[in-house]
Amino acid sequence: MIDRLRSISISTALLLAGTGLLVGATDPGGPSRPGECLAHLPGSIQWASRHTSPLAVDDTAGPRPESWAPWTHRPSCVEAANDPKVKFCTYTDAGHGPHGFSLITTPEIAAANIDTLQDPSVSSVGAPNLEHWQKLEDDPPYEVVDLPGKGKGVVATRLIKKYDVFMSDSAMFVNFRFTASVRQQDGYDQLHTAAERLRNPHALLSLGRSNTGHQSDIVEDVMRTNSFNLDISGVPHMGMFSKISRVNHACKPNSFMRFSKRSFGATIVAFRDIRPGEEITISYAPFGLTHSQRQSTLADWGFKCTCEMCTAAPDVIAESDARRSKVEDLQAEVLDFLGRGKIHGAIKLIKSILELLETEGLQPLMTEHYDSLARIYWYLNERGKSRANARSAVELLAVHGFIDLKDVDLYVGALHFNQVLFVVRTDRRIARFEPLTHPPVDERRLMRTSVKKSIAAVFWLSVFICAFLAIRNMAAFAGPRYRFTIQPDYFVDYEQVAAQDPSGKATTQPNLGILDREYPEIEIPGTPWERLVTNVTRLNAESRGDVQYKVLFLTRHGLGYHNVQQAKVGTPEWDRYWSRLDGDGAVVWRDAPLVEEGINQAKQLSLIWQDAVANGVMPLPHSFYTSPLTRCLQTSKLVMGPLLENRGHPFRPIVKELLRERMTDHTCDARSTRTSIQEAYPEYIIEPSLTETDELWKADRFESDEEHIARKQRVLEDIFSTDHSQYISLTVHSQAIQAIMQVGGAKPFKIREGTSFAVVMRADVLHS
């Protein structure tokens, strides 16, 4: 087995996590003052309030076990060599799961996870209970053996049924900054302490090592060659699973991994029946990739896949690749058909996609398409077909661990009444099983509901939803639904940056101008961006449902032909005459493309982004949006595209009409047809509302500043109400950026072509 690949498999593991999403919950009230334990908790979580406290504990805790409960050992801590104020401590719960688990992290992060970790009311979402765990430990349906050319591997010893949970594991977790922050010997001591406090330290220490030299660094070697990358409370950590690390990769695996951040446990589940003597495999790469994409992804880790799928005959590989590529093409066609009102044609295409996915064994990717069919049939008033497809979508989510099987009726009922299919709509990356180059989606508590209560809840929920949707639709044009506020003190004053530049325009700042600041609400170690990420995650976790925070990465397109012509003739002459023409006979600036300098600006900006993301300086955006004008389409592909394409993943931004520049009588503000955009950028997702011809631009009409700001208000409301990503990239225009700043209550400023900057945007729902 090639152990150094373990970090890849977390892409699949986290996506297959037992993720519960909020249907209904009681507000726990939160601490009344900083540093106090939670009080007045609802009954469902009173267990945690009686047995734990969110107060941070470290090696100064008292001598009695209750002083450091629920941990089974007194924390062992060391100070960071570069900052004595930062401590890293080893926390162990030896009674957790089959082996117990240890966590090396800061006291604050450990405290933040105590109540959910120890709360018995948290849904396991298909994970085995303790009795089943013990049965798996005593008589596992597999064994670890030596496999030719692979080292160790796992082989089934008896029949494992489809969707059986047959392997459970818990791990040792280490804060990503730990090894770089503490002295070497202190680090070794803590790693050994964490491992030795587990119930079966040998299970972890017996994993393959990259260095068979000094015995003192055995734990570090095991961690380096067998670790998964994951986030805990928004902070990067490494996790080591002693049993799961023995499972080898296959591009068409017979099993998948689920990791639950709520329980810090992981399970392996059978995709299909697994026969005795068959090797058990999981995928280290994302689902749905073609042969070359898979090999490219795995090659980054020095690994050439030799699984059955990758060593098949060339014609078999070609046929598989063709089916997978066809899925991508058909998905774009579905959006196009729906946008043009060809409903029944879209249905036929979706059914073709489902057949292709079934043939390729990519059942997890079918969820979203069943969901789409359910909604389309409901729209067509074919209720029976709608219910059948809704149930197929939700049952697939249930068997793959996203929701509990006993909540299927509740989810299906909510879906029937045009509510969000919570898992799919909360983050479409889950249903598509895309790789976690993005931070993982936060898990939330499921509402536990009996079958009878579920039926009643669905009925009354449906009545409320129908009334609510009707009222909301009537009020859609009455005024804004959100109040947006750009949060201060996160980034440099861009207005001042612009004022100090000779051009009067802001330029891309180092690390996008993030301030190296502390957060008084919580002590957060790490780089400025790591601290910001943790703080924004905390703000969203602590906010009620009517408040959310997002980091918006705003990029202005590179230099276009219209910019060059305006500079050439001067602004007064441009406004008077030239701007109303399509071009000057030599070049065309109607829906102006980038000039060579603009292309180079975008490429240089992309290098800044690639370097920052690769080195962990900045987070990768979760979602990407672009204006439909050519200069933005080009810029988004040149700047943001490589961030995903270099990792073997397609770049598929959403093209939104309302992100366009302020409408004037200038021809550079007119856009191309929908068809021409789709032909030039077939991988881009064009929103259905974008018409074939340009219906916004008029040669005899100017859009007022107020109208433009209102348009940007609407597009932000659309994004914030439908996209739950925390980090969003928008590739837009100069005046569009100024309007977004004004929507957020900030002063507008000018920005140079080919420039990126960031803001933290708060959105408050306006209930009135």
- Which residue type, as a one-letter code, is found at position 598? G
What does the pLDDT read at residue 405?
Answer: 53
Check whether 349 has a pLDDT greater than 90: yes
In this predicted structure, which of 121-135, 187-201, 746-760 has the lowest mean pLDDT?
121-135
**Secondary structure E strands in 529-687:** 547-556, 623-626, 654-655, 685-686
| Range with top average pLDDT, 7-21, 294-308, 410-424, 586-600 | 586-600
CA-based radius of gyration for the chain: 27
Q: Which residue in the block uniquely carries the two structure tokens 């002083």?
A: 67
Section 529-535 average pLDDT: 87
- Is beta strand 151-156 parallel, antiparallel or unpaired with respect to 142-147? antiparallel
What does the pLDDT read at residue 418?
Answer: 39
Tokens of 737: 């950026």
What does the pLDDT read at residue 476?
Answer: 41
Q: Using 50, 70 and 90 to split pLDDT, how confident is the model at 750? A: very high
pLDDT, tens only, 33-77: 333 333 333 333 333 333 344 568 888 888 787 788 888 889 999
Tokens of 64: 């009695």
CA distance 681 to 719: 22
CA separation, residue 717 to residues 240, 660, 764 (Å): 41, 15, 10
Closest CA to 592 of 622, 625, 550, 564: 564
Check whether 658 has a pLDDT greater than 80: yes
Which has more confidence, 376 or 118? Answer: 376
Sign of the Cα pseudo-torsion (373, 375, 381, 384, in order):
positive
Section 582-593 average pLDDT: 87
What string of H, E and C letters represents the secondary structure of 97-151? CCCCEEEEECHHHHHHCHHHHHCCCCCCCCCCCHHHHHHHHHCCCEEEEEECCCE
CA distance 627 to 142: 53
CA separation, residue 470 to residues 123, 466, 473, 476 (Å): 34, 6, 5, 10
Q: Using 50, 70 and 90 to split pLDDT, how confident is the model at 734? A: very high
What does the pLDDT read at residue 115?
Answer: 62
What does the pLDDT read at residue 616?
Answer: 74
CA distance 168 to 640: 38
End-to-end CA gap in the chain: 59
What does the pLDDT read at residue 701?
Answer: 82
CA distance 543 to 125: 25
Which has more confidence, 28 or 674? Answer: 674
CA distance 699 to 195: 71
* In contact, 222 and 209? CB cutoff 8 Å: yes
Section 343-364 average pLDDT: 89
Check whether 569 has a pLDDT greater than 80: yes
pLDDT, tens only, 691-726: 999 999 988 888 888 899 999 999 999 999 888 788
Section 493-520 average pLDDT: 91
CA separation, residue 29 to residues 32, 546, 712, 762 (Å): 8, 16, 35, 21
- Which residue type, as a one-letter code, is found at position 145? V
CA distance 509 to 513: 5
Sign of the Cα pseudo-torsion (747, 751, 754, 755, in order):
negative
What does the pLDDT read at residue 217?
Answer: 54
What does the pLDDT read at residue 120?
Answer: 47
Closest CA to 595 of 626, 573, 568: 568
CA distance 63 to 87: 20
Domains annotated on the chain, with CATH: 65-284 (2.170.270.10), 314-417 (1.25.40), 478-558+591-690+703-765 (3.40.50.1240)
Backbone angles phi, psi at 147, to 5 degrees: -120, 135
CA distance 142 to 128: 17
Section 506-510 average pLDDT: 94
As beta bridge partners, residue 248 has 281
What does the pLDDT read at residue 231?
Answer: 72
Average pLDDT, the chain: 76
* In contact, 303 and 662? CB cutoff 8 Å: no
Q: Is 383 helix (H, G, I), strand (E, B) or coil?
A: helix
As beta bridge partners, residue 229 has 238
Q: Is 82 helix (H, G, I), strand (E, B) or coil?
A: coil
What does the pLDDT read at residue 350?
Answer: 93
Enumerate residues 6+ apart whose C-beta is below 8 A from 16: 256, 257, 258, 259, 269, 364, 400, 401, 433
Check whether 601 has a pLDDT greater than 90: yes
CA distance 473 to 541: 29
CA separation, residue 729 to residues 25, 218, 566 (Å): 31, 42, 28
> CB 200: neighbour CB atoms within 10 A?
13
Q: Using 50, 70 and 90 to split pLDDT, how confident is the model at 126? A: very low
Q: Using 50, 70 and 90 to split pLDDT, how confident is the model at 111? A: confident
Check whether 129 has a pLDDT greater than 50: yes
Check whether 452 has a pLDDT greater than 70: no
Backbone angles phi, psi at 82, to 5 degrees: -95, -5
* In contact, 433 and 364? CB cutoff 8 Å: yes
Which active-site residues does the annotation give?
557, 661
Section 559-583 average pLDDT: 89
What does the pLDDT read at residue 225?
Answer: 54
* In contact, 257 and 121? CB cutoff 8 Å: no
- Is beta strand 756-765 parallel, antiparallel or unpaired with respect to 482-486? antiparallel
CA distance 157 to 274: 10
- Which residue type, as a one-letter code, is found at position 226? N
Enumerate residues 6+ apart whose C-beta is below 8 A from 444: 20, 21, 22, 25
CA separation, residue 663 to residues 162, 593, 702, 708 (Å): 57, 17, 6, 8
Q: Using 50, 70 and 90 to split pLDDT, how confident is the model at 309? A: confident
What does the pLDDT read at residue 260?
Answer: 67
Which has more confidence, 715 or 234? Answer: 715
CA distance 269 to 255: 5
pLDDT, tens only, 626-656: 999 999 999 999 999 998 888 777 899 999 9
Q: Using 50, 70 and 90 to split pLDDT, how confident is the model at 203? A: low
Backbone angles phi, psi at 552, to 5 degrees: -100, 125
Closest CA to 702 of 561, 583, 579: 579
CA distance 48 to 114: 8
Backbone angles phi, psi at 730, to 5 degrees: -125, 120
CA distance 488 to 458: 42
Percent of the chain with pLDDT over 90: 29
